[in-house]
Amino acid sequence: MVRPRLSPWFRGVGGASLGRLHEAEVLIAESWGRRDAKRRLENEGSRCRLIAVKAEEQYKGVRGWLLLLCINLTILDPASIVLGVFGALPLADFEKNPEMQRFMVISGVCRLALAAFSLYAGIALWRIHADGPSIAKRYFQAAVLYSAFALLLPGMVGLSDELYAEMAGASLLSSVMTICYVMAWYLYLVKSKRVKATFQPSDQ
C-alpha cells in the first residue's frame, strides 16, 4: 500500500502547529506548576501560622513565674514592707534620739507608698491590664531609687555617728538584696515569652 506523500508546505504548516501545541502544553504545565507551588506555599504558611498561634496560646495566661510575680507584688512584698515599717516602731527610742523619729517618718512614708505601688502593679498584672508590665517596671525602678535614697537618708536627717554606723551595714545589705531582686524580675518582664504572649495586643 502506497502511503500518501505530504507536500512540503503541508508538512511545514503541520510542524508549526505541532510546535505551537507543544509550547501551549509547556505553558499550561508551567502555569499549573506555579499554581501548585503557590498552593503549597499558602498551605505551608497557614501551617506555620497555626503552629505559631498554638505556641502563643501555650504561653498565654497568668501562670508559672508570672503568677509568682503577681503573688509577690500583690501579697508578699506589701506585707513584708508593712510589717517592716510597723515592726520597727517599738524598737525606736524617739525621746533619746529625736532624729530617729524623722528618719522613721520619712522612711515609713516612702516604704508604705512603695507597698501601695507594689499592690497596684500586682493587680494590673493579675488582671492582664495592657500596661501591666510597664506599671510593674516602673514600680521596680521606684524600688531601686528608694534603695539608693535609703542609704543616704540617715545622714540627711542627722542621725548620730553611732546610730549611722549601726544602721549602715543592715541598710547596705538590704539595698543590695532589693536591687538584685528587682533586676531579676525586671529582666523576666523584658525577656519572658509568657509576658509577651499574655500582654501583647491581639492584632500583632
User: Domain check: are 93 and 180 in the same one?
Assistant: yes
User: Domain check: are 109 and 183 in the same one?
Assistant: yes
Q: What is the DSSP letter of 96?
A: T
How is residue 174 written as a grid cell?
538590704
Question: By mean pLDDT, which of 73-82, 135-144, 165-174 is the weakest?
Answer: 165-174
Report the 10 Å Cβ neighbour count for 1.
2
What's the predicted TM-score (pTM) here? 0.71
Range of the domain at 153: 61-199
User: Domain check: are 18 and 112 in the same one?
Assistant: no
User: Domain check: are 190 and 130 in the same one?
Assistant: yes
How is residue 26 written as a grid cell?
509547556
Q: What is the pLDDT, as a whole number, of residue 24? A: 61
Mean of all residue pLDDT scores within the chain: 81
What distance in Å separates the CA atoms of residue 180 and residue 168, rounded to the nearest whole number?
Answer: 18
Number of domains in the chain: 2
Q: Which of 74, 76, 182 is nearest to 118 (CA)?
A: 74
Contact by Cβ (8 Å): 186, 140: yes
**Mean pLDDT within 40-49:** 60
**Mean pLDDT within 188-197:** 95
Q: What is the pLDDT, as a whole number, of residue 14? A: 53
pLDDT in tens, 92-141: 777 777 788 888 899 999 999 999 999 999 999 999 999 999 999 999 99
Q: Hey, which of 11-15, 40-44, 140-144 has the most confident mean pLDDT?
A: 140-144
User: Domain check: are 138 and 157 in the same one?
Assistant: yes
User: Domain check: are 123 and 149 in the same one?
Assistant: yes
